[in-house]
Amino acid sequence: MSAPAVERPAAPAGTDKVLEVSGLTLRFGGLTSLDNVSLSQTRGEVLSVIGPNGAGKTSLFNCLTGVYTPQEGDVRFFPEPGVVKSVLGRKPYQVNHLGIARTFQNIRLFNALTALENVKIGIESRQRTGPIGAMLHMPWNRREERESDEEAYRLLTFVGLGKRANEVSSSLPYGDQRRLEIARALGTQPRLLLLDEPAAGTNPAEKRQLEVLIRDIAETGVSVLLIEHDMKLVMSVATNVVVLNFGQVIAAGTPQQIQRDPKVVEAYLGGGDDVDKAAANKPAKAPAKKAPAKKTPAEETD
């Protein structure tokens, strides 16, 4: 694997981007998974990436997290204003240390471990104690252990799982597992959190909890990049939306702009009913607490 790319000067003051993707092209043999994809995300924004199955959404996340190396393009991450890091060429754990964390389309938890232990794995990836320090029981090791317990409880409480800390993760309901994965990702102290279909397979009550959780995360100052098929969730939490189709960005704008865009209606929703219904169900800037919504019209899951 090549060395991390050279860091570049920060973006001009005032733009305050957290992420800038330019001209990303990813090919697998003859298949172009991402075709000259550009997008940018403002700090604190919930930016949603939508598009039909196979549009390239997860491939984009894989490029942003060091899993795939695109043939062309650039990815610049701004962990804080005035600091810019080039992401491409770094391994996944290095990208995570920069401040980008993710969850996966197919949940990846340590099934035999408790919820608390899963979150501690995220937290401890940031700590200085290695295996030798742990074996020697150094004083700082005991302090870090105590701190990571406290932080894991705090994060579990934040995602609504404080009472399930000691349950084995595989025994948790599906929606709880999704939120546990988010807590683990938050344990790595990201500035940018990538969520790949966090609502997939969840029930309506769990979707509402997720909606509130995503807003709560954004309120803590963590920017959220959200892949989601559930249009109602997207319309409710996203500040802006980028639409991918066959690896290309076909539209970008506010949820209201997107739902009216004929290209989106044609390519993604095949007729427009679903996006209109989804938007009617919930405004883009909905209050945090509201009446239970009806079943999502535009939902697809894997």
Ligand X SMILES: Nc1ncnc2c1ncn2[C@@H]1O[C@H](COP(=O)(O)OP(=O)(O)OP(=O)(O)O)[C@@H](O)[C@H]1O
Binding residues (CB under 5 A) for Mg ion: these are 57-58, 105
Max Cα distance, the chain (Å): 64
**Where in 82-101 is the site for ligand X (CB under 6 A)?**
none
Beta-strand pair 192-196/223-227:
parallel
Q: Is 93 exposed, middle or buried (0-12, 13-18, 19+ CB in 10 A)?
A: exposed
**Dihedral angle sign, alpha carbons of residues 129, 135, 139, 145:** positive
Contact flag: residue 33 with ligand X (CB under 6 A): yes
Please report how close the Cβ of residue 70 comes to ligand X at its closest, in angstroms: 12
For residue 54, the partner it binds in ligand X, Mg ion, none, with Cβ less than 5 to 8 A by kind, is ligand X
Would you say 33 or 114 has its CB closer to ligand X? 33
Which of 163, 204, 205, 199 minimizes the C-alpha distance to 181? 199
270 to 164, 267, 275: CA distances (angstroms):
41, 6, 10
For residue 220, the partner it binds in ligand X, Mg ion, none, with Cβ less than 5 to 8 A by kind, is none
Give residue for tokens 């009446």. Answer: 291
Q: Which of 3, 13, 14, 28 binds ligand X (CB under 6 A)?
A: 28
**Where in 147-206 is the site for ligand X (CB under 6 A)?**
none
Please report how close the Cβ of residue 141 comes to ligand X at its closest, in angstroms: 39
Please report how close the Cβ of residue 299 comes to ligand X at its closest, in angstroms: 12
**Where in 48-67 is the site for ligand X (CB under 6 A)?**
51, 53-59
How many amino acids of this chain bind ligand X (CB under 6 A)? 12
Please report how close the Cβ of residue 104 comes to ligand X at its closest, in angstroms: 11
Tell me, what amino acid is at 107? I
**Which tokens go with 24?**
């990303």
Question: How would you label 34-64 residue by residue, b for 16+ Cβ within 10 Å and e otherwise?
Answer: bbebebbbebebbbbbbbbeebbbbbbbbbb
Site string for ligand X, 100-139 (x = CB under 6 A): -----x----------------------------------
Q: How far apart are CA 38 and CA 87, in angstroms?
A: 15
| Span of 47-55, 112-120, 173-181, 285-293 interacting with ligand X by CB under 6 A | 47-55
Which of 34, 52, 41, 90 minimizes the C-alpha distance to 225? 41
Contact flag: residue 36 with ligand X (CB under 6 A): no
For residue 55, the partner it binds in Mg ion, ligand X, none, with Cβ less than 5 to 8 A by kind, is ligand X
**Interacting residues with ligand X (CB under 6 A):** 28, 31, 33, 51, 53-59, 105
